[in-house]
């Protein structure tokens, strides 16, 4: 097996269970590495640190799957990890038939995402190394879940960065274009082939539950970057009067409209528009809302894009605060690891100065427990939301 040694000073972080080795941190190879092959990671003096796989063509060259010298990376280890992930989810008692079964590094399976939608599973591979285990992953999912179908989604970042070639489609059984799931007392239509990510933003389950505690019957509510109406439907379900849901994707909005009918709800205003432009228009009209939720896509794919991303968040916060009634509530989210909770707080503070509004932080929400956050791997905490009351 290929052996690598890391540069002096890197070993402490790895011994602390950080599973990435950057290409620039590698001191030497026992031979020329091949993309996707298994590797033993050693410190500069040759002592064992972990087992993983390597892609010498990318910045994060090695991802470690085992820090135990007695547990090399084998198909059996992959199967064991998937089973452990399933057993963990069973303990969570999630009030839904849709959940994340495998959360990459959060389940010690870097490069693998698996979401379950009722009787179907959706698989997403994000690294070349993990793609070498596709057959055993599918075999494990069939054994554990006995699903009607398993569908593989293309991760465009993996295709571009890792050179991973994936043809989207069923890997096992058959998967319909549309699947209905339930979450609490609502149903959602999922378009697996055409939906964003694996089909639905399961990680926002916590926040969708929390928004219900803020909505009073008759409230006026705004859901910005609504996608298929996750927040809007929960607001309407709690008796909100006017609910405006805006997204730039007409396809997503059409699914949102179907979700509204599916739940016997009506009256949501579905708006296809650029969110920044639409918020400006609402501000010009003097519109005001009791609850405003702003859940944008990732503006920061890497640390170099953080300054531009923060300018975008600042504008959204300024517009959102202006549109929130005194005594009303606003939430702002980031789904990028590179935009931290502190970033959001600083942006909110700056925006509140600009609009001359005092805000009171009432809550913070994060990804739900089926998207585990590993303390030694800060990158696994990516979704943060700050909820404020506009005084």
Residues designated as active site? 335
CA-to-CA separations, 213 to 10, 210, 279, in angstroms, rounded: 46, 6, 24
The bridge status of strand 324-334 relative to strand 384-390 is: antiparallel
Q: Residue 43 and residue 30: Cα distance in Å, rounded?
A: 13
CA-to-CA separations, 93 to 46, 86, 98, 179, in angstroms, rounded: 45, 12, 11, 21
Give the torsion through C-alpha atoms of 116, 120, 124, 128, to 10 deg: 120
Alpha helices in 105-221 (DSSP H): 128-131, 134-145, 156-157, 205-211
First to last CA, the chain: 62
CB atoms within 10 A of CB 98: 24
- Residue 234 tokens read as 């929960």
CA-to-CA separations, 340 to 346, 382, 384, in angstroms, rounded: 10, 8, 8
- DSSP track, 245-295: EEES-HHHHHHHHHHHHHTT---EEEEES-HHHHHHHHHHTT--EEEEEE-
What are the two backbone dihedrals, phi and then psi, of residue 228, each rounded to the nearest 5 degrees? -100, 20
Helix (H, G, I), strand (E, B) or coil at 208: helix
Q: In terms of Cα–Cα distance, which of 192, 72, 55 is closest to 131?
A: 55
Q: Residue 378 and residue 280: Cα distance in Å, rounded?
A: 35
């Amino acid at each position: 097996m290929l052996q690598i040694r890391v540069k002096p000073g890197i070993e402490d972080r790895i011994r602390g269970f950080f599973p990435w080795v950057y290409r620039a941190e590698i001191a030497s190879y026992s031979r020329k590495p091949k993309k996707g092959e298994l590797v033993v990671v050693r410190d500069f003096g040759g002592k064992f640190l972990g087992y993983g796989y390597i892609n010498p063509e990318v910045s994060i060259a090695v991802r470690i799957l085992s820090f135990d010298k007695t547990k090399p990376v084998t198909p059996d280890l992959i199967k064991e990890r998937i089973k452990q992930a399933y057993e963990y989810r069973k303990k969570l008692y999630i009030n839904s038939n849709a959940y994340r079964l495998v959360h990459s590094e959060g389940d010690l399976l870097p490069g693998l995402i698996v979401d379950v939608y009722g009787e179907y599973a959706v698989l997403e591979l994000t690294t070349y190394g993990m793609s070498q285990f596709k057959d055993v992953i599918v075999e494990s999912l069939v054994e554990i879940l006995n699903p009607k179908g398993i569908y593989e989604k293309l991760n465009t970042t993996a295709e571009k960065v890792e050179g991973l070639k994936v043809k989207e489609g069923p890997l096992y059984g058959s998967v319909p274009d549309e699947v209905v799931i339930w979450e609490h007392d609502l149903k959602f239509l999922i378009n697996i082939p055409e939906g964003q990510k694996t089909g639905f933003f399961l990680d926002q389950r916590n926040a969708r539950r929390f928004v219900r505690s803020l909505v009073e019957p008759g409230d006026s509510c705004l859901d910005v970057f609504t996608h298929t109406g996750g927040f809007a439907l929960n607001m309407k379900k709690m008796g909100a009067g006017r609910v405006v849901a805006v997204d730039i994707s007409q396809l997503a909005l059409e699914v949102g409209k179907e979700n509204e009918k599916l739940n016997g709800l009506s009256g949501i205003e579905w708006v296809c528009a650029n969110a920044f432009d639409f918020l400006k228009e609402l501000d010009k009209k003097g519109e005001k809302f009791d609850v405003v939720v702003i859940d944008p896509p990732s503006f920061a794919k890497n640390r170099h894009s953080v300054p531009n991303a923060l300018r975008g968040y600042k504008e959204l916060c300024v517009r959102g605060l202006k549109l929130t009634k005194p005594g009303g509530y606003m939430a702002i989210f980031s789904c990028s690891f590179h935009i931290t909770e502190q970033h959001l707080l600083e942006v909110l503070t700056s925006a509140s100065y600009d609009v001359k509004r005092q805000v009171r932080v009432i809550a913070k929400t994060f990804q739900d427990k089926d998207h585990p956050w590993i303390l030694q791997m800060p990158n696994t905490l990516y979704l943060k939301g700050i909820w404020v009351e506009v005084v």
